[in-house]
A and B are shown apart, each in its own frame.
Chain A
Amino acid sequence: MAQGSTNSFLRWLRQPGVLAAIPASVFLLIGFAGPLVMVVAYSFMPSKTFTLMQAPTLENFTSVFTDSYYISFSWSFFLALVTVGLLLAITYPIAYGMAKLFGKWANLVTLLVALPLLISENIRLFGWVLFLLKNGIMDGSLQTLFGVSASGPLYTVPAIVLGLVYVYLPFMLFPLVIGLSMIPDTLKEAASDLGATRLQIFREVELPLSMPGIMIGCILTFILTLGSLAESKILGGQAVVMIADDIESAFTFAQNWPKGSVLSVLLIALSGLIVFLLFRRIDLDKIIGKR
């Protein structure tokens, strides 16, 4: 019996697919799963310890709820929701154009949207600082052209939202394009011939059929925003502390690894749950491979 199961395991292992999967899997097991386990283990250690040799405790988990960390969690959550909503409204018409109207120009739009991704996020956010700065590009132009001053948007919550919308726009746009291009044009024509209004076509045909793309885009941008750090630091100044900021200072300034670990575990658990729910409902082969 045991012999048989070992044999079938060896047979499974000898498939080319399994062999090809091994290098990357082993690498990520060491480099991704390992650190994750580490963080979870540290979250059970007493406050301000640097080893895993202490008796495990739950004090960090209880203290997170009594400390003021719910503020940064709420801010991250709120900003993520606002960002996702804005991105959906901004990118839907563009995605529609790219999937249905632009023809071969859609490739150019794709390229132009993707190129900034290859430039460091730091530099791009710094560009916004220069733009929004007092006597910066926006302020200076308004002063010379109209004689009005517009200093002030930098280091406020709207500036952070601007940065988040700016950085994560491609991550909403591209899934939407894939989702929308999966709708056959004939369906819409049929609905239109049967007398459906524009709004009806949108609500009854387009929206349900492009749902997988919309869901991937929303969840991807939501999670990325939830864990973002640079936007609130560079564009927000001290206006808002987001959760990733709290995690970083717990690890660095406060030198309290267990506290930082607990916050990380909560953030990871929340994002992980959302991704898990998403992955259960979509088929990657269909979306990436168009199979």
Chain B
Amino acid sequence: MNLVKSKRNRVSHILIVLWTVCVLIFLYIPMVSVVLASFSKQRYFRFPVPAWDTRWYEKAFVSLSVRDLIWTSLSVATLVTIISVVLAFFGALAFARYDWKGRKLYQRLILLPIFFPQAVLGLALLLWFSAVGVTTSWHTAVFAHLIWILPIVILIMSIQVYSFDPALEEAAFDLGATRLQVLREVTLPILSPGIVSGAIFAFLLSWGNFPLSLFTTGADQTVPEWLYAKMVSGYTPMVPTLGSLTMGSAAVLLFFAYVIYLLVQRRRGAGAGTG
């Protein structure tokens, strides 16, 4: 009886693994499609690709307008990352570290923007900017991205903060450390993995954001906006090329973050071993 059961279990395990692999492949189909199209020589994509070519990459690298697009996207994403990490650090402490009256309400309200349709949020911000009398440009896009990204970064950092033992801070205070010293020597190092992953999410979510940028960048244009405009009308093979380049840069960033994470882990492990 038990033998039959375990055999049936094994079959279902194999089925689940197979299904998971299929869905993972499904998730990466579009990325592979974009990369394939970016190396195609023809102006209009067809498959199987008759001839391969890298000239669209060469064109992208020398194009001044591409450089402008990347510069705008990069500026927005960098500012969003810096501001959201600073605000979210305190926001996450309030979310998960301290116990205070009103915290439950704060937790719910602060997460609301994540559930909000981004396109509608972008349009609402457009009305808001025009009412306040601010001309839209990439600066206003930074503001718009923050409304959606800040709650996400708070959520990510909170996960780290939950596992943080407040007794460590109190011990430092008891030993005579000042508030600033405790922050620099105890709180920040312990929470640093959460801060780093929050920063990476902030940067990449801003780098790839389209619905908020669409309505709030004014005359400036980010890479995702340009891609959308060209997809809808005036297709050029530069679309898959620039798409592949943004995917590649995201992959490189993540790879370096992972390497740095491993190095830090190893150094910490060594430090704990000798100390």
Contact = CB atoms under 8 A, between A and B. Distances in A.
A128 B90 contact: no
Chief secondary structure at chain B's binding surface: helix
Interface stretch (B58-66, B98-106, B266-274): B98-106
Interface in A171-230: 220, 223-224, 226-230
Nearest to A274: B115
A94 B100 contact: no
Contact of A230 (B87, B95, B113, B211): B211
Given A131-B33, A289-B159, A267 B45 contact: no
A24 B87 contact: yes
A120 B212 CA distance: 12
Nearest to B123: A251
A290 interface: yes
Q: How large is the interface on B (under 10, 10 to 19, 20 to 34, 35 or more residues)?
A: 35 or more
Contacts of A102: 17, 20
The 6 closest A-B pairs by CB, nearest first: A227-B117, A127-B30, A17-B98, A140-B47, A17-B100, A289-B162
Contact of B124 (A18, A36, A118, A120): A36
Contacts of B91: 20-21, 23-25
B25 to A, nearest CB: 10
B107 A23 contact: no
Interface in A65-99: 90-91, 93-94, 96-98
Contacts of A109: 20, 24
Interface stretch (A26-34, A56-64, A152-160): A26-34
Interface in B218-237: 223-224, 227-228, 231-232
Interface of A: 12, 15-25, 27-28, 31-32, 34-36, 38-39, 42, 52, 90-91, 93-94, 96-98, 101-102, 109, 112-113, 115-116, 118-131, 133, 135-137, 139-141, 144, 166, 169, 220, 223-224, 226-230, 233-234, 244, 247-248, 251, 257, 260-261, 264, 267-268, 271, 275, 279, 284-285, 288-291
Given A27-B146, A109-B24, A140-B47, A127 B98 contact: no
Interface of B: 13, 15-17, 19-20, 23-24, 26-34, 36-37, 45-48, 87-88, 90-91, 93-104, 106-113, 115-121, 123-128, 131, 143-144, 146-147, 150-151, 154-155, 158-159, 162-163, 201, 204-205, 207-211, 223-224, 227-228, 231-232, 239-240, 243, 246-247, 250, 254
